[in-house]
Structure formats: structure tokens, C-alpha cells
């Protein structure tokens, strides 16, 4: 939840003055007793009255309540996602990941050092993974090496294409980030433009005029809405394309497995 707070702050800092005033007005409308705080009763009454029933849930209020500890930061969340991803893998794929781990761990000490990590990905010409900030983010206990549990997150990032870097400060985006929606939806092969919350909130970036930035979760939601609005033929075409990508991924797995077996 802390990652979303940072994204929300960066979003607010980039709002025009008129929009900031409107947000203050909405807050005042919810704060019925004028004590400068929105309690659960005020929260539920306002959203129920405004027909925003999806937001009128006590669990969402508790998540927004910053002083109520128990929320996870993004890095911990992605570790949980990667762990769940690994648990649902077929046995043969789990075996492949173990082989990949051993292929990177050249000295067989059960740890992947930074040297081994960089050497492996440079040899594979996977330059997107040779950025030291990825290794630092994966190294949960800051001991300078990755055990298998930490490497599972690496394998998940490799499979999901989650290796994104801020176009302004060039850091690995382990957090919620912002994308230019025009570049994202252009769909003509032009690369997308992502920046971290710090660069967006601090306005430390240069991009084309009139750029509209959205956080990655919002873009995913909008992508789904656009897909649902598309014709049946267009939806079918998208499904076929996804199927082709999945088959290509399976083919890459088989190639990787063959490579590891030859070089082990």
C-alpha cells in the first residue's frame, strides 16, 4: 500500500491548481463533522450515496488508513506473487528453474554472486538484466548474493517481462510507476515511456508536450475496458496473439532447457 501512497502523492503534485481545489472540496464534503478527518461512517455514507459501491468496503478503508500497520510494500508483494507463481508451476518447469539456478551458480555454493549473475546474463546477451539495480532489488537480505528463494523472483520477472527501468533516472522499477498513456496505447511499435514516482512527482523528466501519465495499475484497468469495448473480431484477434506469445514462450523454455542440459 505504501507504493500506492507514493504514486498518489506524485499524481497529486502534478495536478493543476483547479483539480487540487476540487479534491479539497471532495474531502470537505466527506468530512461531515469538520474535524479534518474522514471516519469510517463518513467514508461509507459518502460513497454509498454517490453510488460508488465498489469503494464502499471497510477493508479498503482499513488499507487507506496509514496508521493501521500490517500493509506490505511492493517488493514484498512481488515476492509473494513470485512465490505463488512458482508453486503453481508444473514439476518439469520447477526442475528447469533449479537447473537454471545451478547454471548461474558456477561455484556451486548455493548462492548467485553479483559476478556470476552479470556473467550469465552478459553471455545470454540479456542486457536488460545486467543492470545492478535489479540484483540489488532481488537481494532481500543485502548479503551480496541470491539464494534460490530470491532467484525465484528473478525467474518470475524474466517470464513476465517485468524488467522495467525509469526513463529519467534509469533505476529498476520495483515500485508503482507512471507510463505515458499516449505512448502505451499507440500500438505502432514505438517504445513506451515509464518513470518512477520520485521523478514524476518531482517533475524530473522530459517528454513530449501534452503527455498524460497514468500509474501501471490504472493502465491495466483501462486496457481491459478497451478490450471489452472492442468488437468480437478484434477480441478474437487479441486472444490469438496472446496464444501465439504463450506458444513462443513455451518454445523459449524448451530451448533454454536444451541449452542448460548441453552446458551443464
Distance CA 224, CA 241 (A): 15
Distance CA 7, CA 9 (A): 5
Distance CA 177, CA 164 (A): 9
Mean pLDDT score, 5-21: 70
**Is the per-residue pLDDT at 187 higher than 80?**
no
The beta strand positions in the chain, using DSSP E, are: 112-113, 145-146, 177-180, 194-196, 213-215
Is the pTM of the predicted complex or chain greater than 0.75?
A: no
The string of pLDDT tens digits covering residues 123-180 is 888 777 888 778 888 888 888 999 999 999 888 888 776 677 888 888 878 667 888 8
Q: What is the mean pLDDT of the chain?
A: 75
47 closest CA partner among 65, 63, 61: 61
Query: Domain limits of the chain?
Result: 2-64, 74-163, 230-264
Q: DSSP labels for 97-149?
A: HHHHHHHH-TT-SS-EEHHHHHHHHHHTT-GGG--HHHHHHH-TT-SSEE-HH
Q: Quick one: cell of 54?
A: 465498489
At residue 177, what are phi and psi to the nearest 5 degrees? -135, 170
Q: What is the pLDDT of residue 15?
A: 73
Distance CA 38, CA 34 (A): 9
What angle separates helix 40-49 from helix 17-30, to the nearest 10 degrees? 110
Q: What is the pLDDT of residue 61?
A: 66
The string of pLDDT tens digits covering residues 243-263 is 554 555 555 455 545 544 555
Q: What is the pLDDT of residue 191?
A: 65
Distance CA 155, CA 31 (A): 46
The string of pLDDT tens digits covering residues 198-240 is 888 888 899 988 888 888 777 777 666 666 666 666 656 655 6
Assigned CATH class of 74-163: mainly alpha
Distance CA 218, CA 221 (A): 5
The string of pLDDT tens digits covering residues 33-88 is 777 777 777 877 877 776 666 566 666 666 565 555 333 344 666 788 888 889 99
Amino acid at each position: 500500500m505504501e507504493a500506492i501512497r507514493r504514486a498518489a502523492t506524485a499524481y497529486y503534485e502534478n495536478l493543476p491548481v483547479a483539480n487540487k481545489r476540487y479534491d479539497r472540496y471532495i474531502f470537505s464534503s466527506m468530512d461531515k463533522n469538520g474535524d479534518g478527518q474522514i471516519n469510517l461512517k463518513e467514508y461509507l455514507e459518502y460513497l454509498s450515496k454517490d453510488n460508488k459501491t465498489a469503494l464502499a468496503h471497510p477493508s479498503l478503508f482499513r488499507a487507506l488508513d496509514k496508521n493501521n500497520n500490517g500493509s506490505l510494500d511492493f517488493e514484498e508483494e512481488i515476492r509473494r506473487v513470485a512465490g505463488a507463481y512458482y508453486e503453481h508451476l508444473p514439476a518439469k518447469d520447477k526442475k528447469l528453474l533449479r537447473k537454471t539456478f545451478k547454471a548461474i551458480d558456477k561455484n556451486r555454493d548455493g548462492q548467485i554472486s553479483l559476478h556470476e549473475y552479470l556473467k550469465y546474463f552478459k553471455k545470454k546477451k540479456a542486457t536488460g538484466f545486467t543492470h545492478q539495480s535489479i540484483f540489488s532489488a532481488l537481494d532481500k537480505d543485502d548479503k551480496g548474493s541470491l539464494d534460490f528463494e530470491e532467484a525465484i523472483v528473478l525467474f518470475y520477472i524474466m517470464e513476465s517481462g517485468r524488467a522495467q527501468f525509469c526513463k529519467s533516472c534509469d533505476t529498476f522499477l520495483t515500485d508503482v510507476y507512471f507510463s505515458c498513456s499516449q505512448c502505451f496505447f499507440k500500438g505502432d511499435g514505438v517504445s513506451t515511456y515509464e518513470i518512477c514516482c520520485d521523478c514524476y512527482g518531482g517533475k524530473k523528466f522530459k517528454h513530449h508536450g501534452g503527455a498524460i501519465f497514468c500509474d501501471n495499475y490504472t493502465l491495466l484497468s483501462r486496457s481491459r475496458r478497451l478490450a471489452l469495448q472492442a468488437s468480437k473480431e478484434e477480441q478474437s484477434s487479441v486472444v490469438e496473439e496472446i496464444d501465439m506469445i504463450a506458444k513462443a514462450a513455451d518454445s523459449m523454455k524448451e530451448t533454454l532447457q536444451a541449452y542448460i542440459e548441453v552446458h551443464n
